[in-house]
């Protein structure tokens, strides 16, 4: 699924109408959830039928485009089915019982193929359902002409219709700094890339963003650290303001904007770094870290690097699919303890920055040694050495959990 995004430029009155649409979408979702809680054996189709009931009994619900109402019901259903899935799989801990959405700064409403239309030049979008939000200018980096399946010169109306069909969903998103529109296109993105006959293992850290198996390092972006610092400052100032005061509202908005900025910077960094790694390698191996546990860590530096790492990994896997590069998550046990030269275990504490093997005499930077172990393990998991693997196989490896080898299962992680 491809997503193009643009900022919506309109009047305050128009934004207010978008707010109404967003509020109504949330109302439909929450009502569907309530309906499911209060009745037995409700399925997807019951919820979809319930939308008509809501529209008949609430004037404002009728204002929302009927397909947008359906989309809200689908959202409720996806929360419910996720909960069912977690129960069925016997997921440990919380099962994610669906919750009601509260009014928040961010929110969204999803349209499908009706209730909106693009202008001829693709620079404006008009929302035409009962809320009558009207026409907005779109301000963004992506030109929607960019997306074209086949060159269709000389037949503009047909070409336009053809391109419009590709937009399966159009989402209006409200954020701290304004309103955005997202166009979702159902299309697998596959691109060609020359094999480089090079594989890489990646070890992530706190001081350095990562060290790879060739000894190359990527530093943590400094601007991220800086932003995090001012985030903390704003958070402190917000907590000093009076509840319900204008000042508090002002700081809450400031904080929300800062959060947006940080997450955009992080995403930007993740995309650039991930694309670079994927383009220059035929296989990328990294540790399968359980980030959920890591984020709970109270140290700020740690939580920043965790968040950045999760983003990075997502994009590595995405670009891996796009460019047909194998990506493998290997079990993280013993990657820093083993000697990458002879394979024997060399115990060391966290503060030992250099790996010195007393079996074979091999000496290497700790992270570099770990990255080499990760690559070695990754190659063993995939079973291909030095050859580029087809996309189908990549998909297979991405969908399955990486099997942990016997030796790692037998060994317990050493206690600190």
SS3 letters across 112-133: CCCCEEECCCCCEEEECCCCCC
Provide the β-strand partners of residue 183. 4, 170
Quick one: 9 or 342, whose CB is closer to Zn ion? 342
How far is the first Cα of the chain from the last one, in angstroms, to the nearest whole number? 44
Quick one: 165 or 359, whose CB is closer to Zn ion? 359
Answer for the pair 235, 151: CB distance below 8 angstroms, yes or no: no
Residue 356 CB, nearest distance to Zn ion (Å)? 9
Closest CA to 169 of 113, 125, 109: 113
Which one of the spans 33-41, 191-199, 309-317, 336-344 is the region binding Zn ion (CB under 5 A)? Answer: 336-344
Binders of Zn ion in range 57-116 (CB under 5 A): none
Tell me the C-alpha distance between 37 and 256, whole Å.
33
Tell me the C-alpha distance between 320 and 275, whole Å.
9
Quick one: 276 or 345, whose CB is closer to Zn ion? 345
Sequence-ordered list of residues with C-beta below 8 angstroms from that of 323, at least 6 positions apart, any chain? 191, 192, 193, 278, 279
How many chain residues interact with Zn ion (CB under 5 A)?
A: 7
Q: What is the dihedral of CA 105, 110, 111, 117, to 10 degrees?
A: 40
Quick one: 233 or 359, whose CB is closer to Zn ion? 359
Both tokens of residue 184? 């979702």
Binders of Zn ion in range 340-359 (CB under 5 A): 341-342, 357, 359
Exactly one of 353, 360, 396, 413 binds Zn ion (CB under 5 A); that residue is 360
3-class DSSP assignment, residue 306: helix
Sign of the Cα torsion 130, 136, 142, 143 reads: positive
Residue 355 CB, nearest distance to Zn ion (Å)? 9
Residue 357 CB, nearest distance to Zn ion (Å)? 3
Quick one: 304 or 339, whose CB is closer to Zn ion? 339
3-class DSSP assignment, residue 186: coil
Which one of the spans 14-22, 181-189, 209-217, 362-370 is the region binding Zn ion (CB under 5 A)? Answer: 362-370
Exactly one of 339, 370, 379, 382 binds Zn ion (CB under 5 A); that residue is 339
Residue 369 CB, nearest distance to Zn ion (Å)? 9
Residue 336 CB, nearest distance to Zn ion (Å)? 14
Quick one: 37 or 342, whose CB is closer to Zn ion? 342
Answer for the pair 213, 174: CB distance below 8 angstroms, yes or no: no
Decide the pairing of beta strands 167-175 and 107-111: antiparallel
Residue 367 CB, nearest distance to Zn ion (Å)? 17
- The 285-324 site mask, x for binding Zn ion (CB under 5 A), equals ----------------------------------------
Quick one: 198 or 359, whose CB is closer to Zn ion? 359
Binding site for Zn ion (CB under 5 A): 339, 341-342, 357, 359-360, 362
């Amino acid at each position: 699924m491809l997503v193009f995004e643009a900022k919506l430029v309109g009047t305050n009155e128009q934004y207010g109408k978008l707010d109404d649409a967003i509020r109504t979408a949330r109302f439909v979702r929450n009502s569907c959830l309530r309906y499911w809680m209060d009745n037995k054996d409700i399925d997807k189709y019951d919820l979809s039928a319930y939308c008509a009931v809501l529209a008949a009994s609430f004037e404002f619900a009728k204002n929302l485009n009927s397909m947008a109402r359906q989309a809200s019901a689908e959202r409720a259903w996806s929360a419910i089915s996720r909960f069912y899935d977690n129960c069925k799989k016997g997921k440990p801990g919380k099962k994610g019982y669906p919750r009601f959405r509260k009014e928040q700064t961010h929110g969204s409403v999803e349209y499908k193929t009706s209730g909106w239309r693009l202008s001829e030049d693709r620079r404006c979008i008009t929302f035409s359902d009962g809320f009558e939000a009207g026409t907005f200018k779109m301000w963004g980096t992506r030109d929607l002409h960019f997306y074209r399946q086949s060159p269709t010169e000389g037949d503009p109306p047909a070409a336009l219709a053809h391109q419009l069909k590709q937009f399966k969903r159009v989402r209006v998103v409200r954020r701290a700094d304004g309103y955005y529109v997202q166009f979702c296109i159902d299309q697998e993105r596959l691109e060609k890339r020359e094999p480089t006959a090079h594989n890489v293992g990646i070890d992530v850290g706190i001081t350095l963003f990562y060290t790879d198996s060739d000894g190359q390092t990527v530093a943590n972006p400094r601007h991220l650290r800086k932003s995090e610092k001012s985030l903390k400052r704003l958070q402190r100032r917000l907590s000093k303001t009076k509840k319900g005061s204008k000042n508090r509202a002002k700081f809450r908005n400031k904080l929300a904007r800062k959060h947006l900025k940080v997450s955009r910077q992080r995403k930007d960094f993740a995309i650039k770094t991930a694309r670079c790694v994927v383009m220059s390698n035929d296989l990328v191996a990294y540790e399968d870290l359980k980030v959920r546990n890591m984020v709970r860590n109270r140290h700020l530096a740690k939580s920043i690097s965790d968040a950045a790492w999760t983003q990075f990994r997502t994009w590595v896997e995405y670009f891996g699919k796009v460019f047909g590069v194998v990506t493998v998550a290997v079990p993280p046990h013993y990657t820093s303890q083993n000697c990458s030269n002879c394979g024997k275990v060399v115990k060391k504490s966290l503060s030992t920055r250099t790996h010195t093997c007393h079996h074979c005499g091999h000496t290497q930077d700790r992270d570099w040694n770990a990255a080499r172990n990760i690559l070695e393990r990754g190659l063993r998991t995939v079973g291909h050495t030095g050859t580029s693997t087809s996309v189908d196989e990549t998909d297979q490896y991405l969908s399955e959990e990486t099997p942990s080898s016997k030796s790692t299962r037998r060994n317990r992680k050493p206690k600190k």
